[in-house]
Homo-oligomer: A and B are copies of this chain.
Amino acid sequence: MSEAAIAYAQKNGQRFVEELKELLRIPSVSTAPEHVGDVRRAAEWAAEKLRAAGMENVRLIETGTKKQIPSGDDNKKSKDAGRSGHPLVYADWLHAEPSADGKPKPTVLCYAHYDVQPPDPLDEWKSPPFEPAERNGNLYARGAVDDKGQLMIHLKAIESLMKADGKLPVNVRVILEGEEEVGGEGIATYVREHGETLKADAALVSDSEMFAPELPTLCVGLRGMIYTEIEARGAAQDLHSGMYGGAAPNPFVALAQIIAQMKREDGHIAIPGFYDGIEEPTKEELESWRALPFDEDEYLKHEVGSTELTGEKMFSVLERTWSRPTMDVHGMPGGFTGAGAKTVIPAKAVAKVSFRLVPGMKPADIFAKYKAFVEEICPKGITVDVRMIHFGDPIVMSSDNEFIRAAKQAMAEVFKKDTVFIRSGGSIPIVGDFVRELGIPTVLMGFGLPDDNLHAPNEKFNLSNFHRGIESVVRFLGIVGGE
């Protein structure tokens, strides 16, 4: 292990923070046309830092939006049609010496993103979103945790190793994205079309959080999803509900009847065959979840804030959100949505319906079963068009993988605590792309905290986690390199 690199990181820690502040001052809001120049400036800034750290082949890769594919990362706004893409930043260093036994060292692909969410609502920020401010050991700014702080963890771990040792313990490629908050189409296309240029043995993604403060965490499973629309059509044009109410079909009522038949009040999805082939978590995994510091009452009161939780009561909340599929409705556009009253029977209405999928479920198969069921139960007088907006495969990674093991050990050494394995209920499409297109596992090693205000006002990053993150990555690369 390169204690020299860790010493370098400690010595230069304050400078690293100052550099992170430089990056945070660049308002690289990828969804905002007026910030196109800022997004590029952030890419160039990162490229320059990679060069300065000793990385090679550093370049910006242009991306272009050929067609609108709605938000890949489902946590974010869907992207504007016709916007040209923000660049990727690429760098590599592929000179790791073979092991004593002559075996070449593995290659690690480091991924992070340099774009950020819009800062709105501005008036809820205690300090301006693009003027980083330190308070109580945290650095407050838009992008602090998502994902500039974690991007800098990769860059500064690499710099520390290169400056202290003159080399890296493994081969490293870096790919940085500037469209993560707007769907990530550019990188998905690039990985699909030019995957060979990113050839690696594993990916390291730092864009997630720890289960609890001080608890080193690796995410080893992600739910997949299908995001769909049901368009219900009744009359040929909008009708007046006084004149026609009682004889003309109402598409909203039809959608309500369809949705109510698909999802029962006990959380069960009534689509035939929906649960077929689901792979349950292992007994060991379930046991480890039960050992996590999770308080359902706290979760209800302080995270959800509803009168009670819903869903399949025979499963724990972590199971319900990590390893059980579910269905949600996100919006029902159509008809009259203004203030007051308009008595229209709209000709059509839409329901935006998504399903979260778990290992053993295939998006295409679930979509087919769902579509067939909706068409079967569609009320008389109504025709439905069920369409896919986007989808992602569920992913579960074996914790028995050498890279996961290395990450577990690295984090445990830094945080002085056993690393826990969790899953996430969300989807991170780039992980699926890495698995599918590059055939490599991904280590999801994140240093955010649950209260970091991701996508919200007063986003922050815990500075202790920033420094421990750098050390964790230094150690991870060292362990993978056999040191």
In the complex, chain B residues whose CB is within 8 Å of the CB of A68 = 339-340
State how many residues of chain A have any CB contact under 8 Å with chain B: 95
- Contact of A314 with B by CB under 8 A: no
* Pairwise interchain contact B309-A381, C-beta atoms closer than 8 A: yes
In the complex, chain B residues whose CB is within 8 Å of the CB of A389 = 340-341
* Pairwise interchain contact A242-B74, C-beta atoms closer than 8 A: yes
List 4 A-B pairs, minimum CB-CB distance, nearest first.
A236-B305, A242-B426, A70-B340, A78-B340
* Pairwise interchain contact A330-B346, C-beta atoms closer than 8 A: yes
* Pairwise interchain contact B236-A77, C-beta atoms closer than 8 A: no
- Contact of A36 with B by CB under 8 A: no
Residues 218-261 of chain A: 1 if any B CB is under 8 Å from the residue's CB, otherwise 0?
00000101010000011111011111111111101101111111
* Pairwise interchain contact B247-A309, C-beta atoms closer than 8 A: yes
* Pairwise interchain contact A425-B263, C-beta atoms closer than 8 A: no
Given A241-B330, A265-B257, A309-B247; A77-B342 close (CB under 8 Å): yes
Least Cβ–Cβ distance between A226 and chain B, in angstroms? 10
In the complex, chain B residues whose CB is within 8 Å of the CB of A317 = 247
Residues 307-339 of chain A: 1 if any B CB is under 8 Å from the residue's CB, otherwise 0?
111111000010011001111111111111111
- Contact of A383 with B by CB under 8 A: yes
Residues 153-173 of chain A: 1 if any B CB is under 8 Å from the residue's CB, otherwise 0?
000000000000000000000
* Pairwise interchain contact A243-B426, C-beta atoms closer than 8 A: yes
- Contact of A379 with B by CB under 8 A: yes
In the complex, chain B residues whose CB is within 8 Å of the CB of A320 = 246-247
In the complex, chain B residues whose CB is within 8 Å of the CB of A299 = 247
- Contact of A464 with B by CB under 8 A: no
Q: How far does the alpha carbon of A304 sit from the alpha carbon of B240 in the complex, in Å?
A: 10
In the complex, chain B residues whose CB is within 8 Å of the CB of A345 = 328, 330
* Pairwise interchain contact A329-B246, C-beta atoms closer than 8 A: no
Least Cβ–Cβ distance between A331 and chain B, in angstroms? 3
Q: How far does the alpha carbon of A326 sit from the alpha carbon of B245 in the complex, in Å?
A: 6
- Contact of A344 with B by CB under 8 A: yes
- Contact of A390 with B by CB under 8 A: yes
* Pairwise interchain contact B78-A342, C-beta atoms closer than 8 A: yes
Q: How far does the alpha carbon of A343 sit from the alpha carbon of B19 in the complex, in Å?
A: 34
Least Cβ–Cβ distance between A25 and chain B, in angstroms? 28
* Pairwise interchain contact A341-B246, C-beta atoms closer than 8 A: no
- Contact of A128 with B by CB under 8 A: no
In the complex, chain B residues whose CB is within 8 Å of the CB of A260 = 253, 256-257, 259-261
Least Cβ–Cβ distance between A76 and chain B, in angstroms? 8
Given A78-B342, A341-B70; A248-B309 close (CB under 8 Å): yes
In the complex, chain B residues whose CB is within 8 Å of the CB of A31 = none
- Contact of A380 with B by CB under 8 A: yes
Among B247, B256, B343, B344, contact of A256 (Cβ-Cβ < 8 Å): B256
Least Cβ–Cβ distance between A3 and chain B, in angstroms? 38
* Pairwise interchain contact A70-B333, C-beta atoms closer than 8 A: no
Q: How far does the alpha carbon of A426 sit from the alpha carbon of B324 in the complex, in Å?
A: 48
Q: A427's closest neighbor in chain B, by CB?
A: B242
Taking A74-B242, A227-B341, A333-B337 as known contacts, 18 extra A-B pairs with beta carbons closer than 8 A to each other, sorted by chain A number, are: A70-B341, A75-B343, A78-B339, A79-B340, A241-B328, A241-B330, A246-B267, A246-B326, A248-B306, A256-B257, A256-B329, A257-B265, A330-B336, A330-B343, A330-B344, A331-B342, A332-B337, A341-B354
Q: How far does the alpha carbon of A260 sit from the alpha carbon of B261 in the complex, in Å?
A: 9
In the complex, chain B residues whose CB is within 8 Å of the CB of A330 = 241, 252, 335-336, 341-346
In the complex, chain B residues whose CB is within 8 Å of the CB of A480 = none
- Contact of A462 with B by CB under 8 A: no
Least Cβ–Cβ distance between A282 and chain B, in angstroms? 20
Among B79, B242, B248, B426, contact of A310 (Cβ-Cβ < 8 Å): B248
* Pairwise interchain contact A75-B341, C-beta atoms closer than 8 A: no
- Contact of A138 with B by CB under 8 A: no
- Contact of A356 with B by CB under 8 A: yes
* Pairwise interchain contact B304-A383, C-beta atoms closer than 8 A: no
Least Cβ–Cβ distance between A122 and chain B, in angstroms? 18
